[in-house]
Chain A
Amino acid sequence: MVAHARYLIEHDALDEGQRMLALTFMNGARRRLTESLNAEALFRRKFDCLTFDSFAQTLARRRNAKLTDEMRQQAGEFGQFDGPCFLAGELLKDAEVRRWVARTYPLVLVDEAQDLVDVHRQGIILGLIECCAAVVAADGFQCLSDGQDTADFMDQLLHAGTPHMLTENRRTDKNGLLAAALAVRNGEDIRAVLKEETIGKTDRVHWVGEGIELLEVPATAALLAWNLAFQLRLGSDDVGILTPDSTNTIIRNAINTVSEKQGPWPHNAFSVAWEGGDNRIADELTEAIEFPTSASYREICALLGEHLAIPTIKSVDRRVRRLHRVTGQSEFEKDQLVSFVSDAVRNNTRLGFNKSTKIKAMSIHGAKNREFDRVIALWPQSATGSDEHKRRLLYNAMTRAKNHCTIIVLGNGRLNLAPFALS
């Protein structure tokens, strides 16, 4: 995808003042795509990387005058995120608006288009390809929304442009991992491409290949923790612990144990952090500050002043001061301040400020478009959805790994079922 964009830019797709628009689904993906585009001198300062939502919001806000009340009402029913995307799609049906966009962005890059399961975001793409040169990368198999297929949309895309089929996974060169992932994708038995081995004294069986290990662990938190710690001891730099169900209690408890226990084994705790915990962080901050129900500007400044060492609170403080100076607001309600705190936390996450070197645990959905040196996929019984969906999830988790992927299946006798075997 990037190679094709490079080709277009090298062939003068951009005039002076024009830029490439790179669209992603989520903010994490946006940051990562920004990073990888910035890594190439050719793209530097020549692209804007936005999420679909923020692009749609901008479009809907700036071309507000072209919207009808009917559209606005409909958008209201679609909600905070889908609404603007619907409006943007409607606006992009207008040739004047399309040209307006293309005047700045004659070239559009869309990654992971298979995730555009909703018609609204699809509408944005379909509008953009009318006026811009678009490079759209999609892998139908990586769509992780169960029950919603994007086949029709993909067909439309295929008809609109020249498809380039990329069959190789370029993330890893580990043949075992590649073969196992392909087996999952094709609905074949994953063990067929791996070698069966027994481990140490217990004679427990696991299956290995270059860059891949598959094992079963009884569904208890203690045993899972033990295995997890064992895996982390093999290397804990840039590790992602991925699971289809991040609410699973066994997994939660096991990860807690691994990150806290200081016993004889595994000797030391691994610091593992769950991603996507914005609300929890915001709640903790709010609790620590103890906002009064209502307070004057001065009181709020004094209160926030005690916590300025925390960057999020510092930005809340800046916002309160600015608001006071610009609007003269002098009384602040608790609700408003609480929303400021959660905005600030969310902003921090969005901008990628809370970087940590910790081992990251997250759902497979949350890992979309990311990569880790090592992936540990925890597969609980609570994974739901159709067989096809499970295969897509597992495939996605496996293809996040650059070097090694360990799949830990919780509970015995599940390897004969999807996603590990043809069911």
Chain B
Amino acid sequence: MYIQRLKISGLRGVQNAEITFGKHSVLVGPNNNGKTTIIEALALLLGRDRLVRRLTEHDFYESRPVETSRILIIATVTGFPGNDPQHSPSWFAIGCGGVEKWLDPNTGNLAASVDDQHTELSVQIAFSARFDLQELEAETLRFFVDDEATLGDPFHEDTVVTPISSKTLQEIGFFMVPASRTWDKWISFTSELFRRLVATLGGLPASAIRDARERLWEPEAGQKLEEQDGLTTIVEQANDELGNLMPSSPKLQLRVTGTDSNSVLESVVPHFAHGDGPTLPSARQGTGLTSLQSLLLLMQFGKARADANKSFVLAVEEPELHIQPSQQKRLVNRLNALCDQTIVTTHSPIVAAMFPVEATYFVDNDDGQMSVSPLSKTAPAGPTNHKQHLFFAWRQKLIAALMHQRVLIPEGISDVAWLEALQTALELRQGWDSPEDEQSKFSTFVGVVPTDEAKIAETHDLVRCVHRHCAILVDGDPAGRDYLTELNAADPSPSAAIIWPKDWKIEHVVTWIAEANLAQVLPRLAEANNTAISDAEELSTFLEGRKTYAPTQEITSAILMGEAACRKRAAQLLNALCNTLLDPSIESSPLFVRETEDGAAMPTFRFAPPDDV
């Protein structure tokens, strides 16, 4: 079984969201966009009751619930055994079950009756919550959705809903691994997961536990704590006092545990031994090891369910936490192979890149309206395809760029290389007390998407589907102007456009940075590149000739950023660019002149180098 679609409304920062999941999905996107909210919505709907935190006012959209405020989460569950309701009587029956819906796997639409398109047996289930302003706590409900179109307020007296039992929900086998993990608690009998696993796989080690309890309860002669040298005096005194107070003269005895089986179980602490080294408790281990062990435990649990032909759906927040990249890949692949469905959130381009593009979902949140779109609806075909390049060779870079608040698509790959090289060189020079005008915030807010030469429009088409704030950067030549015209007509158009000055390319911009102190840097540039460069114009020409040679860009950037005046100028450029992209509705800024009218769909700015050069 798996979750095909999830609708969320009124939960935390999400006023409305509708998400279609694949079997294995990864959710990426900038922080605070609601990735965790999606996972928590799943937990509220599918998780064990005790996993569901008590909801507070802050779990309601805008944190100020009124009488009619509702959290509503509706999931479409599909993939039932045999695609036949007869095999799942707890899901499909009058009384305590739900109502059959038939899913069209191509469109994702549901129909009440089966037909040629609507072939997959599905059911809709929901979680709803309201906040009671008198009792100051949330009232929650999990139920089957019989007809989404006519679903009223489930808390209203006129609405009758069929509650879904937690026993039925458990058939989905949903398990969530939250980002805040208390790993060392996992392999112990206080852990729900561990107990479930033990119960599934072979039962409690009852006789060993009973033996241990017996030993701890009645220690052998000479082993009793109260008989040890340091304690006897205290114990005897206490016994004398007690004897004076109570006729039965109770005797004080000291035991290591509560001496019932449960306290023995709960005092189990996982230990690890590396090679011949000492056995150490998990609290003394690196977090990486305990993380791994716990995920492995989870996999055992999944394996047990899979072997028993039971469903297992896993939601993991940030699997990259504490785990080195080489292990991440194997772990994620193993989890995907094991589960009916995995839903993973990540900040790691490495983890994200392990999922196919059609399973890579980008989470965007526009003031409560959340949209979650796959990078591509289908996997691109054909090796020459530009998308193929972007989705495979550049997947990690692309995803890393998309995790920024603003995305910039330059005209060609040399722009990307230069922006990166300058930014990196500048940041290497930055200390805590660098002057403010030498610091750049560009890379914090703006992600640069790698672009094949002349593929700016295609790249934009693709990126704009998943990111609302998507700007383009073009050369100051007629071709650049043509791109502006072409993309201005696109629907949707880029959220902003930047054009270099007339006849300028990025190399001219680099030269402009060098001109902050040309006399100082030119000889060094000539020497490092092992060539003769006599003036600014020659520098531009030289750099243009080496546009596909990364070492030139890196060496040049390093030399330029070693010079304070150049550094200042680079920071000025990058920060101005960043500000313009963050708020394209502004009028011209010192370095960028707006070419378009107020309210244009694609505000366009031209770089205008200050006259002080």
Could you list which residues of chain A lie within 8 angstroms of chain B, going by C-beta atoms? 17, 19, 48, 58-59, 61-66, 94, 96, 99-101, 103-105, 319, 322-328
Contact = CB atoms under 8 A, between A and B. Distances in A.
Contacts of B155: 326
Interface in B157-194: 157, 160, 162
Contacts, number: 81
Given A96-B113, A99-B85, 9 more contacts: A17-B89, A61-B146, A62-B162, A65-B101, A65-B147, A100-B94, A319-B157, A326-B67, A327-B68
A61 B160 contact: yes
Contacts of B130: 326
Nearest to B99: A62
Contacts of A64: 146-147, 150
A66 to B, nearest CB: 5
A19 B93 CA distance: 11
Chain B, interface residues (CB within 8 Å), range: 20 to 34
A322 B387 CA distance: 57
B156 A100 contact: no
A65 to B, nearest CB: 4
Nearest to B114: A96
Given A66-B113, A326-B130, A103 B68 contact: no
12 contacts: A58-B160, A62-B146, A65-B99, A65-B101, A94-B113, A99-B85, A100-B97, A100-B100, A101-B94, A103-B85, A103-B97, A326-B155
Contact of B97 (A19, A58, A66, A104): A104
B164 to A, nearest CB: 13
A96 B100 contact: yes
Contacts of B157: 319, 322-323, 326
Nearest to B131: A325
Q: Which of A99, A103, A324, A327 has the most CB of B within 10 A?
A: A103
A66 B115 CA distance: 13
B62 interface: no
Interface string B125-137: 0000010111000
Contacts of A59: 94
A100 B91 CA distance: 10
Contact of B99 (A63, A105, A325): A63
Contacts of B94: 58-59, 62, 100-101, 103-105
Chain A binding surface, main DSSP class: helix
A28 B94 CA distance: 24
A326 B156 contact: yes
Nearest to A67: B112
Given A61-B160, A99-B85, A326-B155, A104 B96 contact: yes
B112 A65 contact: yes
Interface string B80-103: 000001100110111111011100
A100 B98 CA distance: 9
Contact of A100 (B93, B113, B133, B147): B93
Contacts of B97: 100, 103-104
Contacts of A325: 67, 132-134
Nearest to A58: B94
B1 to A, nearest CB: 18
A52 B133 CA distance: 39
B150 to A, nearest CB: 6
B149 interface: yes
Given A17-B89, A99-B85, A327 B156 contact: yes
B66 interface: yes
A64 B134 CA distance: 35
A104 B92 CA distance: 9
Given A325-B134, A326-B155, A327-B156, A65 B146 contact: yes
Contacts of A319: 157
Q: Which of B68, B130, B147 has the most CB of A within 10 A?
A: B147
A135 to B, nearest CB: 19
Nearest to A326: B155
A335 to B, nearest CB: 16
B153 A105 contact: no
Contacts of A326: 67-68, 130, 153, 155-157
